[in-house]
């Protein structure tokens, strides 16, 4: 045999020299959950090892992550029902704890990247990403609310705005508002191909943001569709997105690859809560080696074409890298 591929696998040094895909802590964004109050650290029951933090403890958590090399964070707020209403007005209240926290995080750690999420569901009494009227999710009326939300987050110091609502035209609407108000440097990471997935439930537990009625299938994408993701990507790119995201990640590696091959924009993959919780549950049962499966699953997203991965494993992966 003239060709023996195993010769390039015979030692760790040679394997590392021919390694095609490299995953680094710098590729990761760590989602964090924020709650009001002080000295609060509450574990999300369906996400072992993931907590909801009050600002004082979140600052300490961010500091510990920075020491591990994590420099990007996506901050999600969990609001009590008493602060939610039909129009998500708390989302752009300048005195709300979430916007105050973004300001504090950026002033304390000016060199990190803070990403924020734009959608109505954490603030909506209906639990939907858009405005609900007679059971219908209104698209254009929702854009006005999202624009106010995005502006408030930019003013608070967000580096990247993440529209996760899947309303038509929202990227262009938000880009125009940011530009008109001299926030041209604020980036948009669009949730371009956000599927109506069954993998989101632990996240909804973390934010208490499940829909009060109906589902999200009229605005989130059908898991059966791939070509539709190209349409969404084309629209988002033309409307001014700086990054395109696929959510979830593990069951949508083909979508990540397809977008990667059809755009010059960076591709982000959201390794969502259900994907995290499955691995953690199997690890607790002793059915899988959690560390190895975590690393392999993250590597698969990078190999598929993701430049950036939002993952609840970010800190755990960084700790693993330090050991090696």
Q: Which long-range contacts (CB under 8 A, 24 or more apart) does 41-45 make?
A: 44/202, 44/205, 44/206, 45/205
Span 301-311, mean pLDDT? 98
pLDDT greater than 80 at residue 207: no
CB 58 within 8 A of CB 101: yes
Residue 2 domain-assigned (yes or no): no
pLDDT tens for 230-263 read 999 999 999 999 999 999 999 999 999 999 999 9
What integer is the mean pLDDT of 129-136?
91
Please check whether residue 163 lies inside any domain of the structure.
yes
Q: Residue 198 maps to which CATH number? A: 3.20.20.70
Query: Residues 60-82: what's their mean pLDDT?
Result: 96
282 within some domain: yes
Cα 102-108-111 angle, rounded to 5 deg:
90
* pLDDT (average), residues 173-183: 98
Region of poorest pLDDT, from 117-121, 169-173, 214-218:
214-218
Q: What is the pTM of this model?
A: 0.94
Least confident of 123-137, 169-183, 281-295: 123-137
Confirm whether 141 is domain-assigned: yes
**pLDDT at residue number 324:** 77
Give the count of beta carbons closer than 10 Å to the beta carbon of residue 40.
16
- Which amino acids are annotated catalytic? 194, 247
**Model pLDDT for residues 8-36, shown as the tens digit of each residue:** 999 999 999 999 999 999 999 999 999 99
pLDDT at 212: 75
Higher-pLDDT residue of 215, 81: 81
Confidence of residue 209 (pLDDT cuts 50, 70, 90): low
Cα 153 from Cα 158, distance rounded (Å):
6
Say how far apart CA 55 and CA 12 lie, in whole Å: 43
Q: How far is CA 274 from the centre of its chain?
A: 13
* Closest to 96 measured CA to CA, from 58, 63, 125, 55: 55
Is 204 a residue whose pLDDT tops 80?
Answer: no
Within a domain: 98: yes
pLDDT in tens, 157-166: 999 999 999 9
131: β partners = 138
The total number of structural domains that make up the chain = 1
Within a 10 A sphere around the Cβ of 229, how many other Cβ atoms?
23
Q: What is the DSSP string of 201-244?
A: HHHHHHHT---SSS-STTTSBPTT-SHHHHHHHHHHHHHT-SEE
**Pairing mode of beta strands 28-34, 51-53:** parallel
Q: Report the percentage of the chain scoring pLDDT > 90.
A: 91
Residue owning tokens 């300490």: 60
Distance CA(132)–CA(19), nearest Å, equals 50
User: CA–CA distance from 311 to each of 8, 130, 246, 276, 297 (Å)?
Assistant: 32, 25, 13, 8, 11
CB 147 within 8 A of CB 122: no
Question: Quick one: average pLDDT of 171-181?
Answer: 98
**Residue 315 located in a structural domain:** yes
102-132 pLDDT, tens digit each = 999 999 999 999 999 999 999 999 889 999 9
Is 6 within the bounds of a domain? no
40-49, 59-68, 122-131, 200-209, range with the lowest pLDDT = 200-209
Establish if 17 belongs to a structural domain: no
* Host domain of residue 43: 22-323
Give the pLDDT confidence score for residue 82 in this predicted structure: 93
């Amino acid at each position: 045999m003239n060709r023996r591929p195993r010769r390039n696998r015979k030692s760790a040094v040679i394997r590392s020299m021919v390694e095609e895909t490299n995953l680094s802590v710098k590729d990761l964004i760590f989602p964090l959950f924020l709650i009001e109050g002080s000295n609060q650290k509450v574990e999300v029951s369906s996400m072992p090892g993931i907590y909801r933090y009050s600002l004082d403890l979140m600052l300490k958590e961010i500091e510990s992550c920075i020491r591990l090399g994590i420099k990007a964070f996506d901050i999600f707020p969990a609001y009590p029902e008493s602060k939610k209403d039909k129009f998500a007005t708390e989302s752009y209240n300048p005195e709300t704890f979430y916007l105050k926290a973004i300001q504090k995080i950026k002033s304390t750690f000016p060199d990190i990247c803070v990403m924020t999420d734009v959608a109505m569901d954490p603030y909506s009494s209906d639990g939907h990403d858009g405005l609900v009227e007679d059971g219908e999710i209104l698209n254009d009326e929702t854009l006005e609310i999202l624009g106010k939300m995005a502006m408030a987050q930019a003013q608070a110091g967000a580096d990247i705005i993440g529209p996760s609502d899947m309303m038509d035209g929202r990227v262009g609407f938000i880009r125009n508002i940011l530009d008109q108000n001299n926030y041209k440097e604020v980036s948009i990471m669009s949730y371009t191909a956000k599927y109506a997935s069954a993998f989101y439930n632990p996240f909804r537990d973390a934010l208490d943001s499940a829909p009060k009625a109906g589902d999200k299938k009229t605005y989130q994408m059908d898991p059966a569709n791939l070509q539709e993701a190209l349409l969404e990507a084309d629209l988002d790119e033309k409307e001014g997105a700086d990054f395109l995201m696929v959510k979830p990640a593990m069951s949508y590696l083909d979508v990540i690859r397809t977008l990667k091959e059809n755009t010059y924009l960076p591709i982000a993959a959201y390794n969502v809560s259900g994907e995290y919780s499955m691995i953690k549950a199997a690890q607790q049962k002793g059915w899988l080696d959690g560390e190895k499966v975590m690393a392999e699953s993250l590597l698969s997203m990078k190999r598929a074409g993701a430049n950036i991965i939002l993952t609840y494993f970010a800190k755990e992966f960084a700790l693993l890298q330090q050991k090696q």
